[in-house]
Each structure stands twice: as structure tokens, then as C-alpha cells.
Amino acid sequence: MAGPVLEMRSIVKTFPGVKALSDVTLTVRQGEVHAICGENGAGKSTLMKVLSGVHPHGSYEGDVLFEGETCRFKDIRASEQHGIVIIHQELALVPYLSIAENIFLGNEHAKHGLINWNDTLRHATELLRRVGLDEHPETRVADIGVGKQQLVEIAKALSKKVKLLILDEPTAALNDEDSGKLLDLILQLKEQGITSIIISHKLNEIRRVADSVTIIRDGRSIETLDVKAAETTEDRIISGMVGRDLENRFPERTPHQPEEGTAPALEIRNWTVHHPIDQQRKVVDDVSIEVRRGEIVGIAGLMGAGRTELAMSVFGRTYGRHAGGTVLRDGHEIRTKTVPEAVGHGIAYVTEDRKHYGLNLIDTINRNISLTALGKVSKRGVVDEHGERQVAEDYRKSMNIKAPTVFEPVGKLSGGNQQKVVLSKWIFAGPEVLILDEPTRGIDVGAKYEIYTVIDRLAAEGKAVVFISSELPELLGMCDRIYTMAAGRLTGEFSRAEASQEALMRQMTKDKQDQKSRKDEEVSR
């Protein structure tokens, strides 16, 4: 067995009012893929920022040894000079520069201040080939998808002679196909002798690529497990992460039985939306769905199926060019052409992109929560700061938002706690219909269960919930009914009893299967 390439001993990191890391120890062997697991806020990313020099030596206690040498990194450049490269969850690429320019940004092929573009493009092409990307190196980063951008980040790391590659939630924003390609690449890099540390909440991915997994809980390293050992099951890892056994991944739920004769809380009829740029292309094509009070209705579909486009276009026409259709609340037609109109009719939308559209990251928890319903905490246009603080404090406790005070900037919270703030914001608005778009994306199993419990409680209170998710087990565990979409069209509807992963996937890929059948028929002719 190979010896350790990295040792982090008794790491302690403190922020004002919070001890983020407390006596954390981590050992990574040469040439392995080492996973780090823990709940949101457990200290995983903080530990990697210590390792990569984001938190410089002197700002923490403990020792970092790399290749047997004690390291005192003053910044990221110092760690990169040793071959340690970190790829953050939020990609550090400049969208309007080319792939080649991004790969060598800050590390240019230059002499006397002049860039050698021939060398730049040649080396960029070699690196792109190495990561399995066939894009031209002069292509703008803005013109490629997120999956390919992740590969560009890895190519950028390889250009720096990486020895230890750190990937923080690398597949959080990727679909299954792109995630598979990225995980395959990590295994290829392992064969080339590159050691990797991967932070992920997706336990199936960890079991696929990792050799070892270290569990961190509440800022402490709990244990390191051999992933290939028979006793290292997903339940075993989860138990270490949350400090208790999760007997059920989802709250127990009694399927909703709608009252006969009552109109749906939300009904969407013949909804069609055109792409905002390519106006000949329909991104939502004649879709009709309904949701009753107390019901959780799921929408399943692959990337590009039109799920988010449907939700955003209904919620104030925030996506695309609307071409036609009707929205009804409790049997009465309503206008939702603007966000205030949608909110006024009791509709809330929790976006899949909380950092860009769901939160003001530089503002505090209490300001974010009150934002959707300032009228409830103000009088004659003046905000009652005491009342606003009390509302936020109530949600901090009831939603178990882990923060020292409600005056903490939201940008400093972990992903799961940010998601709880988004939910709190919309619950405070008092909606009757909640559209939840990937509400548990990028958060750990413990925080997921807490959010599932909140959603279940809202349904029990008589709210109508639309639940969009890419995780089929999540939809099967939470929903009373599930619609499937493909290529902008509705392809199926399933009751809780009828739904299975196989049945849903069959309908989610129906359009692709139809296209393949048509092509096969044309070939046979």
C-alpha cells in the first residue's frame, strides 16, 4: 500500500464566534481518490481552503505535511507551486475569454511580456485532449456547457503540473451524463498517478470512484473508512455524517386523497413557451398540469426537458417568450405576467439557482427572509427592525438554520442553510402554492431530511406543492403524483402506487426514443 502524500494534523480554524474546525486530522495516500463527507457546515470546504492556501498559514493551528515536507502556504499560488490545485464548486473561469486563455490565465506562455499564441493553443489542445474535450481552444467559455467547463477547470489544473487535485462538489450542477464523464476522468487521472480529494454529498459517486472516505461532523474528523470494505455501506457513511441512524431517507407520508368536487389549487392549461432567443423553438409545448391542496406533485425530466422553463414562465414570465396558455387558482383564471402578480395570487417559486436568483448573498439572514413580504414587518413604509429580527429568529429556530445570529451574511452559510433561508423567505410570504425547483440540490442527507420534513408539513397544512427534481428516488419518496416531461412536452402521469424509476425513465426518454425510431425507420426504407 502506498504511503501518505498528505497529512493534516490537529487543524483548528476559528472565525469570529464560530470554531469551524476543531482538531481535524486527515491522511491521504499517494495515488488514491480520497472522499470527504459531512453535513453542510461540517467544515469540509474550510479544511480544503486551509490546505490550498485560501486560509494562509498563521490563520489556523496545526500542521500540513505534503510529500513529507511541512508546508506553510501564504496563498493559493504557493500551494499550486507544490502541485496542489483546488477546483471550487463555483467555477473560477472568465466566461468571455477563450478556453485557452482560461487554461493559462496567470500562467501564460509569454516572453518579454508577449504571449506566444502558437504555444498556448498547441498546449491547450493537448490538455483538452487529455481530459476528453474536443472543443477548439479558441471557443469562448460562455459558449460551452457547465459539464465542459468542469473539464476546462481540470485541464487548467493539469497545466500547473498537479500532484494533488481537490474537487469541491464537482458534479453538483451536472446532469447524469456529464457527471459520469467527470467521474471516469478522475479514475483516469488516478491511473496516471494523480491523487485526488473529492468532496461530495452523492454517496453513489463516492462508492464508484473513491478508495477511502473521511467523515467530518461539526468541525471534527470522525473516522476514515475503506470504501471497498463490505461494511462501508451508504447507511454506515450517513450514520457517521449525521451522528445517528436515518432509518428512512424520507418522512413517512400518507398519500393525499383530494376532495371530490373541489377545484385544483393550481391548474396550468395548454402552456406553451418559446425560447428567448430562438423564437421558433418551443421549450414548453402545450403542457397541462394540476395540483390540489395538500398534494405534492413531482415533475421529472432529463436536462433540457423544460421543467425549469415551465416553472419560471408561470412565475411572472421570468423565462422565455410566452406564446399561450392559462393559469387558474382554485378554478379562477389569474394573470401571472409579473412576479408581483404571481406572488399576489399566492404563488411562490424556490429557484434551482439559490445563489443567483434566490438570495442576496451580501445581506443578512433577517433581511433575506423579510424581503418577499416587507409589508408584514413595516408600517407606513418604515421597517420595524425589532419585528423583522423576531420573524427571522423564529425561522432560524424552526428551520434549524445553523448560524450564530440572524445578522450573519447569507453568503457565509453552507448550501443547506442557504436553502433553508430561501424556503423561510417564501414561507413567510404565506403562499398557497409552492413551486420547488431542485430544492435539495448540493446539500447533504441530513439537511435533505429536514427540508423534506418542512415540505411534508406544508402539504399537511393544505398548501399545494410542485416538486421538480432530477433525483428519481427523491420524487418517489416525496410525491403523491408525478408528471414526466421530455423535450418540452408532457409524456406521462403516475400515481404514487404506479411510479417506479424504470417507468419514469421510460417516459422521460420517450422523445429521444421516438426520434431514434423515426431514424431507424428512415434507414430501413
What would the pLDDT profile of 310-323 be if each residue is shown by its tens digit? Answer: 999 999 988 887 77
Domain count, the chain: 3
Final residue in a domain of this structure, among 129, 161, 193: 161
Residue 491 falls within a domain, yes or no?
yes
pLDDT of residue 244: 62
Kindly state the DSSP code that residue 254 receives in the 8-state scheme: P
Residue 193 falls within a domain, yes or no?
yes
61 in the same domain as 33: yes
Distance from the Cα of residue 65 to its chain's centroid: 32
Residue 413 falls within a domain, yes or no?
no
- At 130-160, the pLDDT tens digits run 888 888 999 999 888 878 888 898 999 899 8
End-to-end distance of the chain based on CA atoms, in angstroms?
59
210 in the same domain as 228: yes
- At 283-320, the pLDDT tens digits run 999 999 999 999 999 999 877 789 999 999 999 988 88
pLDDT of residue 498: 92
Residue 483 falls within a domain, yes or no?
yes
Per the CB < 8 A criterion, the answer to whether 114 and 149 are in contact is: no
Residue 42 has pLDDT above 90, yes or no: no
Residue with more model confidence, 296 or 109: 296
- Quick one: average pLDDT of 176-202? 89
Residue with more model confidence, 41 or 396: 396
Residue 17 has pLDDT above 90, yes or no: no
Mean pLDDT, the chain, rounded, equals 88
Strand partners, 299: 468, 483
Residue 450 falls within a domain, yes or no?
yes
149 in the same domain as 174: no
Residue 194 falls within a domain, yes or no?
yes
Most confident of 266-270, 373-377, 502-506: 266-270
- Quick one: average pLDDT of 191-209? 90
103 in the same domain as 74: no
103 in the same domain as 52: no
172 in the same domain as 38: yes
Final residue in a domain of this structure, among 186, 215, 247: 247
pLDDT of residue 523: 47
* pLDDT > 90 fraction of the chain, expressed in percent and rounded: 54
- Quick one: average pLDDT of 260-280? 87
Structural domain including 16 reads 1-83+163-247
Residue with more model confidence, 243 or 128: 128
Per the CB < 8 A criterion, the answer to whether 65 and 71 are in contact is: yes
Residue type, 98: S
505 in the same domain as 464: yes
Residue type, 109: H
Half-sphere exposure of 83 (CA within 13 A, CB side): 13
Strand intervals (E) in 116-180: 164-168
52 in the same domain as 31: yes
- At 203-256, the pLDDT tens digits run 888 999 999 999 998 889 999 999 989 888 888 888 888 776 556 778 887 766
Distance from the Cα of residue 496 to its chain's centroid: 26
By mean pLDDT, which of 96-100, 113-117, 479-483 is the weakest?
Answer: 113-117
pLDDT of residue 522: 46
Residue 511 has pLDDT above 70, yes or no: no
337 in the same domain as 307: yes
Distance CA(485)–CA(480), nearest Å, equals 17
pLDDT of residue 515: 47
C-alpha cell at 484: 414526466
- At 399-440, the pLDDT tens digits run 888 888 999 999 888 778 888 899 999 999 999 999 999 888
Conformational region of residue 31, where left means phi above 0, alpha means psi within -120 to 50, and beta covers everything else: left
pLDDT of residue 341: 93
Q: What DSSP element (H or E) covers 289? A: strand 282-291
Strands lying side by side in the sheet with 84-87? 84-87, 164-168, 195-199, 33-37, 212-217, 220-226
In this structure, are strands 464-468 and 433-437 parallel, antiparallel, or unpaired?
Answer: parallel
Residue 365 falls within a domain, yes or no?
no
Residue 442 has pLDDT above 80, yes or no: no
297 in the same domain as 155: no
- pTM, to two decimals: 0.67
C-alpha cell at 278: 430562438
- Quick one: average pLDDT of 350-373? 89
Residue 110 falls within a domain, yes or no?
yes
- Quick one: average pLDDT of 473-500? 92
Q: What is the CATH number of the domain that holds 34?
A: 3.40.50.300
478 in the same domain as 349: yes
Final residue in a domain of this structure, among 191, 218, 247: 247
509 in the same domain as 480: yes
* pLDDT > 70 fraction of the chain, expressed in percent and rounded: 94
In this structure, are strands 332-334 and 347-350 parallel, antiparallel, or unpaired?
Answer: unpaired
- Quick one: average pLDDT of 335-341? 91
